[in-house]
Structure 1
Amino acid sequence: MDIEQFREFCLTLKGTSEGFPFGEETLVFYVAGKMFALTDVTSFESVNLKCDPGEAIELRERYPAIIPGYHMNKKHWNTIINDGSISNSMMKKLIQDSYDLVFAKLPKKTRESIGDK
């Protein structure tokens, strides 16, 4: 997956916006103002995604390209190294899972205003 495919997929998720709160190089995707994905746009060497803590450990054990979240809470975030070992379909699943985790924690009124995912 390249940076454009990553960006396009993230933006297909309802209520998603993007921004650069940490400088010109770090692209962040939000649902209702809450981060669910971020990456360096100049290198696109890795992607940080939120993950269920139990699943995070399992993914790290199964895939060498998935490590604890760089500069993030390592219990809840994974960094996926873009070395080609993670398929596009798997990357989309990980992005969707991250989005779903954040979406589920939004207030009910906010979730309803965004609508069905």
Structure 2
Amino acid sequence: MTTSELERYLDQMMGASASQPFGPEATVYKIKDKMFALLAAREGRDYVTLKAKPEDGEILSEQFRDITPGYHMNKRHWITVYFAGDVEDSLIIDLCEQSYALVASKLTKVQRQSLGL
């Protein structure tokens, strides 16, 4: 998985919008002004930070060396997944979808309906 491949995938998610509020080195993906993914690089490695259920984040960070508690985020509710490591592309996609669903579940009913959810 590369950053550009994941960006193409995230761009296709219903209602997702990308911006760079922290500068050109980090791309934030939001739905209805709520962040669900952040793509950036650290120490020469690309990564994505995603929302996760606390219990899932703990298990994933124990199972994979390239999944850590969210870098510069609430470590209980966010995970960081480094690319080109021990995490398969299909799992990264699944984690992106779960992050999107978690954030979408907190939107108002009207906002969810406007997204077709």
Fold shared, TM-score > 0.5 on shorter chain = yes
Q: Secondary structure at the match of 2:98?
A: helix
Which runs of 4 or more aligned residues in structure 1 lie more than 4 Å from their structure 2 counterparts after TM superposition?
41-44
Cα offset for 1:84? 2.8
* Runs of at least 5 residues in structure 2 that lack an aligned partner in the other structure: none
Question: How many aligned positions are there?
Answer: 116
Query: In structure 2, do the counterparts of structure 1 residues 41 and 12 end up closer, same or farther at CA, with 3 Å as the change threshold?
Result: farther
Cα offset for 1:39? 1.3
Matching residue of 2:7: 7
TM-score normalized with structure 2 length: 0.93
Q: Deviations over 1:20-71 (max 9, x none)?
A: 0111111000111110000126956211011001111010111111000000
2:54 aligned partner, one-letter code: P
* Runs of at least 5 residues in structure 1 that lack an aligned partner in the other structure: none
Matching residue of 2:104: 103
Matching residue of 2:23: 23
TM-score normalized with structure 1 length: 0.93
Matched, 1:68 2:69: yes
1:79 aligned partner, one-letter code: T
Cα offset for 1:83? 3.1
1:71 aligned partner, one-letter code: H
Matched, 1:36 2:31: no
- When the two chains are superposed, the root-mean-square deviation of aligned CA atoms in Å is 1.5
Matched, 1:77 2:78: yes
Q: Secondary structure at the match of 1:45?
A: strand
Q: Say whether the 8 Å CA contact 1:68–1:79 is kept in structure 2.
A: yes
Q: Say whether the 8 Å CA contact 1:3–1:44 is kept in structure 2.
A: no
Residues of 1 paired with 2:72 and 2:88: CA distance? 24
Q: Say whether the 8 Å CA contact 2:3–2:46 is kept in structure 1.
A: no
Matching residue of 2:58: 57
Q: Say whether the 8 Å CA contact 1:44–1:82 is kept in structure 2.
A: yes
Q: Percent identity?
A: 37
